Structures are given as C-alpha cells and as structure tokens.
Amino acid sequence: MKTSPHSVILLLVADPAMRSAMDDALREAGYLVSAASDLGTAVDRMKEMRYDLLITRPYVQSMPGHMAADYLRTKSPGLPVLIVGGFMEDDQVNALNAVERFHIFPKPFHRNDLLAKVKEILKDEN
C-alpha cells in the first residue's frame, strides 16, 4: 500500500512498541511522521511544523487521549484526530465520534486497516 500522500502526521503514543510499529507502517505508506511519547514532546513538535493529522491512544500517560488531543488542538485548531484504542466504553466512543474531526479506530487491527482509515480521514480533510 505504497502511496505518496505528503501528509504530515503527529503520532502521540507512549508505548514504544506500538509507537514504533505504527511509525513504521505510516512511513512505509509514504507519510511524513513525527513521533512523540508524551504531551510535552508533542507540544514541542507542533511548534516546529504544521500537522495534517494527530494519532493518539485513549490514554497518554495519565491523561485521557481526547483531553490531550483537545489541548493540542488549541495549538492547531481543527486538527483532525484519530484515537486508536480498544478499551473504550460505547458511550465514550459515541461522544468522541460526535466531535468534529475526531475519529475512533478500535484495536486489534491490521496495519492495512489503519492505513486505509488514515487515508480516508486525510482525503476527507483535503
């Protein structure tokens, strides 16, 4: 699934193995990726570049991922967000899906499914 989308993605994932696997998959698909393991690093990265998509988890350190995303969106209003997680309550998923440009992607997933979802979100934004 090699493409050349030239989209820039901020990947905010604390777990090193998951961050590495997602980073590799996105880069192999042709995306430019900046990976961060914590909110402070993500904020610093946002000072350096404009991102087309934020991908994060349901929790970033001890903070809910949607709250971290909300904070990062104060730095880049309207930034689309993809929360990748499998342990979210149905009402939480429904509430987040109702927020503009928030997308939920459940685990477990195959890397091609993740790449298809990223491509779909970025296509909708352009």
Tell me what the mean pLDDT of segment 10-24 comes to. 94
The CATH number of residue 18's host domain is 3.40.50.2300
Query: Which residues have CB under 8 Å from 102's CB, separation 6+?
Result: 66, 69, 80, 81, 83, 96
Q: First CA to last CA across the chain, in angstroms?
A: 20
Domain extent, residue 60, equals: 8-125
Output the DSSP codes for 46-61.
HHH---SEEEE-SEET
| Per-residue pLDDT at 62 | 82
Which residue has better confidence, 3 or 74? 74
CB 25 within 8 A of CB 114: yes
**Number of structural domains in the chain:** 1
pTM: 0.84
Q: Distance (Å, rounded) from C-alpha 72 to C-alpha 42?
A: 8
Within a domain: 3 = no
Q: Is the pLDDT of residue 49 over 50?
A: yes
Q: What confidence category does residue 72 fall into, taking pLDDT thresholds of 50, 70 and 90?
A: very high
Q: What confidence category does residue 1 fall into, taking pLDDT thresholds of 50, 70 and 90?
A: very low
Within a domain: 2 = no
Within a domain: 101 = yes
Residue 63's H or E segment, with its range, is: strand 63-64
